[in-house]
Structure 1
Amino acid sequence: MLNYRLIPSSGENLNRNKKYIIFGDSHSQFFGRRQSHKDIEIHLHKIPAASMTGFGKRESTLKVADQIRQKIYEYPDLDLLILKFGQVDVDLGYYYRLVVKQENIKFIDFAEKVISMYFDFINSLALEKSRIYILGINLPSIFNQNYVLKTTHKRITRAIQDKEKVKELKTHLFNHLPDIYERTNRSILFNKILNIFCQKNNLAYGDFLQETLDRETGILKKEFHLPKDNDAHFINNYHTWKLYGNKLQLISSEQDKMGIKTVQSLQTQEWESRLIKLREWQSKLEEIKDKLKQIKFETNTIDFPLISRQKKLLKLKHSLELILAELGVESEGTEIYFNGDRLITRKISGEQTSVQPLNNREGGRSIAQLNPPGNPGSDQIKVLFRVDESRFLRITVEDLLTNETLLNEQVVVQLS
């Protein structure tokens, strides 16, 4: 059993449990009543929809800042104030600014702005920094792009009465909502910036990235993911409760050994340098993505075959055409690299690969009409390929924006 000894200023010794006051959005729920620690008295204040942005408002609807100050006043002997906010800002707030308010703001700029407001509030608290612990946000837990689009659109437009405007904003959101891999990267980036701010302000920081990120898939581990794929929170199971419980026990252990370990405060020049490096990394990443979207292979380069058992995402506009071809000689590959600002493609093999089109004829290429039309850089079409028992290649085409099936098991060509 872990015990914590408080020595009051009067000199009287008192054995008691540590008192942790936890404030957070709905993702803090797993610090709740199921957590049972003999040495920790937990006071959880879960405030759904609470955001970092709210700390920067003079008149906040949820009045989270006032609630935190009140609890600090009511519990002057608290051992630790744990704050877990930011998820609402990343999952909803950014898209509200981008889509509804139509602000031209990069994610990294948005993250720095809301975190800066957050720390303005934290630094105003009448509490020693050694008694404050900052937790980062969780990884996104909904993989299905259609469901994310639907729920995000509904929540950021709920105050808009104009139905046509709401419909228009859905298309706008569709063009700006990244896939699960990019959303995961943004969550990691947000936590990196949050950690840098903690180092600047000499505050303790922790998160769940190491325990929950699957290094092979690059997204959330399956033990924390709801199989139905329809909940923005970690699954309510043993693994998640243990994850949160272990975090509390780790914090408690640090207190018993040496007190909460706050990171060494960074000099202004150093933390600004780290933010600049993050910006440069993010900017380079975006530059590479933009260039990859603009790749145009010349006629003497090798086309990548579209026939596959895997699902393919096509980025096309208006009339959707698909040309299937059979390679006569297997290619050893194509090398793609950047030379300054130029993107170079080069065939590694010295042999010329023969290509035999299978459906490149009038009426055979067009497979669907997009309504509304697609936008460059935004995934709108999912195509599933299947070869049946008679060697017919069949395709099913789904419109990700309208959730309509444009083609179902359509025969494209009979394979030899």
Structure 2
Amino acid sequence: MTTGDGWTAAVRDRLAPGRLLPLGAVAGAWLAERAAREALGRVASGVRGVVPGALRIGAAAEAEVPDPPFPVPPGGLAPGPLRIDAEFAAVAAGRPLPETAEELRAVLLAAAAELGLAVVEADLRVTDLLEEAPAPEPAAPPPGRAAPATDDPVAEAVLLVPGVAAVTDVLGPPVHRAGGAVRVEFAVAAEHPPAEVARRWVETLGGQAAVRARARHYADRGDLRFAVTLLNHAVFDDPRNERSRRQLAELYTRLGRKAENAVWRNFYLTAAQELLDGITPHATASLGPDMYLALTVGQIVDSMAVRVDGPRAWSLRLVLDWHIGDTYWHLRLVNGLLTWTSDDRPAPDAALTLTMTRPQLLRLLAGQGTAGITMDGDRTVLSRLLGVLDTPEPDFPIVTP
């Protein structure tokens, strides 16, 4: 890629989200126009006789816009009423074109309101009349970018909010401070978190007692799995409700006793134990030296790779060699992912080469130091790699929040 191509790609990357649209119900919040277009395009596609075309969202004509209480971000519209301009091709669907247009307008306005956009009007233009709907095109992959690594305390606090998928850096750093104001850029999850879904389930069914009654009804009919599904929502809605926990534990116990497969039986009975007694700490069985020596070097690297903390390692780019016997094992940590290859030659871009035996490697990874290991290059590469490895936590909840 030439320098000019790189600049062009960077500009397109910045412009791709479109303008930022104010969320009318939330002061100081904006939504990327691209995200709104995609959501509105999906609902438009569901209208019979409509093939969606170009869609744009902007400020309503001659709207009086009050002074915003928060600074408007770059590329953003000031808070105020919005307008949709949409084009579509109409397919002969056995109904008048005005009726199709009115349905399309209604679903667009409803979808915009659900997104939180203060859309007051939708202007529709028919661009073509078709005898039949064209074949659907393959869905393009969603425009995505890797979440940037950041240790900013504001970003870390935002990531704790249910429904926030990641902080992003489309407009600049994820957290931008200027003039006493803080701007945070983030992406939301496509679905609500389990606890929120559970609360809505329980609310829809009429509360905890109603959910337990319906679960008992399905259990009496022999539909234990669906009864478990209902009670699982009840437990996630209120983890301290002992009645729901005991009833769910009883069903897991019944499923465990009926299961012929030992793995599933253990799943069910462990779930019941967690509901009744909480999480029981388990003693981790230690592997003997013979077991570790039986692992290949590739398996040892793989065991490290699954422990890499991706967000913490995201900005690191480390290349190092393990020289063991006649083989060079090339380890690369890029974009939070640790991979390896091997051959009989050193990697030209390795910042550090460790020459050692397999027992010395195992002692190194066990935290027993680097005695006897020859290290050639930047010694900090090793400490930076080991510093982004998580310690496995065996005691985690299975069926409770």
Q: TM-score, normalised by structure 2?
A: 0.26
**Rg larger for:** 2
Between 1 and 2, higher relative CO (CA 8 Å, sep ≥ 6) is seen in 1
